[in-house]
Chain A
Amino acid sequence: MIKFCSVDYTYHTLSGETTAIKGLDLSIVRGQFLSVIGPSGCGKTTILSLAAGLIAPTGGRIERTDARCGYMLQRDALFPWRTVEGNICLPLEINGGAGPDAKARALALAEKYGLKDFLKKKPAELSGGMRQRVALIRTLAAGAELLLLDEPFSALDYQTRLEVCDDVQSIIKSEKKTALLVTHDISEAIALSDKVAVLSARPARVVAEHDVDFGDGTPKSRRSSPSFAPLFEKLRAELGL
C-alpha cells in the first residue's frame, strides 16, 4: 500500500539543520494496522507527514498505490460552529465531492456507527470519546483508504482512551481500512496493531519490527492475554527505557 525505501528527511531552521529521519524502511500492506513507536521527538509525526504527502522526502523514495490518506490528529479538530453532520461533510466540500452520492455515503457511515442522533448537534455537546468517533467518521467519509493516526488518543483521559481505542480499532477493521498509527504508548501499540515497528532516537530508523497475532483481534483480548506483558517488556527494552 505504501512503502518507504531508505527515506531521509532533514529540517532546515535558522539555527541549523536537523536530520529527523535517516534510512527509514517501512512498508504497510492493505488492511494492515501498523504502529510506529519511538522515543519522543524522534520524528514520528514527520513520518505521517511524509506518508500524507504534505512534505517530500529529502532522500530515498516513497512508493504508494491508491493511498488516499486521511489524517487523524492528536485533538479531534472538529469545527465548533458546524454540526456533527457539517463536520463529517467538510472533506467532501473541499474535494468538490459534495454530490448527493458522496454525502449519502458519509451519512450512512455516520448512521452505521451510532451517530444518527447526534448529526444535528454541535461538537461541544458530545463527550470526548464521541468527538473522536466523529473525527474518525469524517476521515472515512473523505474516502480515505490509508488512515494516518497521530496519537489520536493522547488528549483523552485514561478511561475514555481505552474505550475510544477499541471503538476506533473496530471501525477501522470493519471498514477494512489500512492504518498507520504513531504513538509513544507501548501498550496502545500492542493492543491495536498487526505489526509494531520500533524507531531509534533521532535520526529515526526502524530498529525492530514485531508481528502481533495473539488474542482474537480486539484490543481487549490483547490486553488480557499472557503474551502481552512479555512483548511489552521486549519493546520497552528496544526503546531503551
Chain B
Amino acid sequence: MKNAKTYSPEHMRYLKGVKRKKILVWTARAGLLAALIGLWELFARLEVIDPFVTSSPSRVIATLGELYATGNLFYHIGVTLMETVTGFAAAVIVGYAVAVALWMSEGARKIFEPYIVVLNALPKIALGPLIIIWMGTGYTAIIFMTVIIALIVCIMNTLTGFLQVDATMLTLMRALGANKRQTLTKLVIPASLPQLMNTLKVAVGLAWIGSVMGEYIVSRAGLGYLIVYGGQVFRLDLVMTATMILCALAGAMYALVALAERLLVK
C-alpha cells in the first residue's frame, strides 16, 4: 500500500470498496453484540423477562465486581485456565507422539485402528465415575478428563494429516534414499503443519469442554464449579457471569492459536 499513488483510479475505488465492506462487517458484528446486550438489559429492566431467571448485563457486571472484591474472580479463572491449558498441551503433545508412532508402523496402525474408532465414539463423560475413583476429586481428575476428550481427536487428525502427504513427494524421498526418520522430519512434519494448526483449533474447543465437564462432575473451584454451584443455589447471575467469562477465554485461546497459525503457516 505504500506506493498507492501509482494505482489507477479504478484500482483505488476497488481497494476502497474492499475496505468499506470490511468496516461494514465489523460494525455489524459490534452492533449485533451491543444490540443483544442492550435488549437483554432493557427486557430485564422492564421485566418482560424475569431477571432472577435470565440475569441481566448490569447484574453480570455487579457479580463480576463482587467476585473480584472477594478475591475469587481470578482464583476461579486461574483454576479452570490451568486445567484447560495443561489438558490441551498434554493432549496435543501425546496425540502428536502417538500419531508419529502410528505413522511409522503400518502394522501398529492396522492393529490400533478399531480401538481408536471405538474410543473416539465413546462418550468420555461415561468414564466420569471411574475417573473420580481412580484419580480422586482434585485437579488431576479434571485434567485427565480434558486429555481423554481431546486426545483421540488429536491423534486422528494428526495422523490424517501425515497420511495425506503428496504421493509424488514421498516417491521423491524414496528415490533419494531417505529413511523413515528423514522422511518424517524433512517431509511429513512440515507438509502437515497446516493440518496440525487445524488440530490445535479443534483441540482448544475440546479442552474447554473437557475441563468444564470435569468441573461439573467433581470440583471445588473453577468456572464450571461456579456454574454448577450457581445453578444449585439458584444464583443465575453467577451462572451467567461464569458463562460470559468462559466465552471470553475460549475466544481468546482460539485467537492465540489462529495467530500462531498465521505466524507459522504462510
> What residues make up the interface of A, taking CB atoms closer than 8 Å to B?
52, 54, 69-71, 73-75, 77, 79, 81, 90-91, 93-95, 142, 148
Question: Top 3 nearest A-B pairs by Cβ distance?
Answer: A71-B175, A77-B168, A77-B172
Of A74, A81, A142, A148, the residue contacting B176 (CB under 8 A) is A142
Chain B residues within an 8 Å CB radius of A91: 176
Q: Which of B121-129, B140-148, B154-162, B186-194 is found at the contact surface with chain A? A: B186-194
CB distance from B113 to the nearest CB of A (A): 18
Q: Is the CB of B191 within 8 A of A79?
A: yes
Q: Is the CB of B175 within 8 A of A79?
A: no
Chain A residues within an 8 Å CB radius of B171: 71, 73, 77
Q: Give Cα A75–Cα B172 distance, bound, in whole angstroms.
A: 10
Q: Is the CB of A90 within 8 A of B176?
A: yes
Q: Give Cα A143–Cα B165 distance, bound, in whole angstroms.
A: 26
Q: Give Cα A52–Cα B171 distance, bound, in whole angstroms.
A: 11
Q: Give Cα A93–Cα B186 distance, bound, in whole angstroms.
A: 9
> What residues make up the interface of B, taking CB atoms closer than 8 Å to A?
166, 168-169, 171-178, 182, 186-187, 190-191, 193
| Chain A residue at smallest Cβ distance from B190 | A81
Chain B residues within an 8 Å CB radius of A95: 176-177
Chain B residues within an 8 Å CB radius of A77: 166, 168-169, 171-172
| Chain A residue at smallest Cβ distance from B171 | A73
CB distance from B263 to the nearest CB of A (A): 14
Chain B residues within an 8 Å CB radius of A54: 174-175
| Chain B residue at smallest Cβ distance from A91 | B176
A-B contact pairs, 14 of them (CB 8 A): A52-B175, A54-B174, A54-B175, A69-B175, A71-B171, A71-B172, A74-B168, A77-B171, A79-B187, A79-B191, A81-B190, A81-B191, A94-B176, A94-B178
Chain A residues within an 8 Å CB radius of B191: 79, 81
Q: Give Cα A81–Cα B175 distance, bound, in whole angstroms.
A: 20
CB distance from B190 to the nearest CB of A (A): 5
Chain B residues within an 8 Å CB radius of A81: 190-191, 193
Given A77-B171, A95-B176, 9 more pairs with CB closer than 8 A = A52-B175, A71-B172, A73-B168, A74-B168, A79-B187, A79-B190, A81-B193, A94-B173, A94-B178
Q: Is the CB of A73 within 8 A of B176?
A: no
Chain B residues within an 8 Å CB radius of A73: 168, 171-172
Q: Is the CB of A79 within 8 A of B174?
A: no
Q: Give Cα A94–Cα B173 distance, bound, in whole angstroms.
A: 9
Q: Give Cα A203–Cα B235 distance, bound, in whole angstroms.
A: 80
CB distance from B172 to the nearest CB of A (A): 5
| Chain A residue at smallest Cβ distance from B174 | A54
CB distance from A234 to the nearest CB of B (A): 33
Chain A residues within an 8 Å CB radius of B172: 71, 73, 77
Q: Is the CB of B169 within 8 A of A79?
A: yes
CB distance from B178 to the nearest CB of A (A): 5
Of A52, A71, A90, the residue contacting B186 (CB under 8 A) is A90
CB distance from B260 to the nearest CB of A (A): 16
Chain A residues within an 8 Å CB radius of B182: 93-94
Q: Give Cα A93–Cα B172 distance, bound, in whole angstroms.
A: 14
Chain A residues within an 8 Å CB radius of B186: 90, 93-94
Chain B residues within an 8 Å CB radius of A74: 168
CB distance from A221 to the nearest CB of B (A): 32
| Chain B residue at smallest Cβ distance from A81 | B190
Chain B residues within an 8 Å CB radius of A142: 176
CB distance from A63 to the nearest CB of B (A): 20
| Chain A residue at smallest Cβ distance from B166 | A77
Q: Give Cα A77–Cα B183 distance, bound, in whole angstroms.
A: 14
Q: Give Cα A235–Cα B181 distance, bound, in whole angstroms.
A: 45
CB distance from B180 to the nearest CB of A (A): 12
CB distance from A120 to the nearest CB of B (A): 14
| Chain A residue at smallest Cβ distance from B264 | A81
| Chain B residue at smallest Cβ distance from A92 | B176
Q: Is the CB of A75 within 8 A of B175?
A: no
| Chain B residue at smallest Cβ distance from A135 | B172
CB distance from B171 to the nearest CB of A (A): 6
Q: Give Cα A79–Cα B166 distance, bound, in whole angstroms.
A: 10
Chain A residues within an 8 Å CB radius of B168: 73-75, 77
| Chain B residue at smallest Cβ distance from A73 | B168
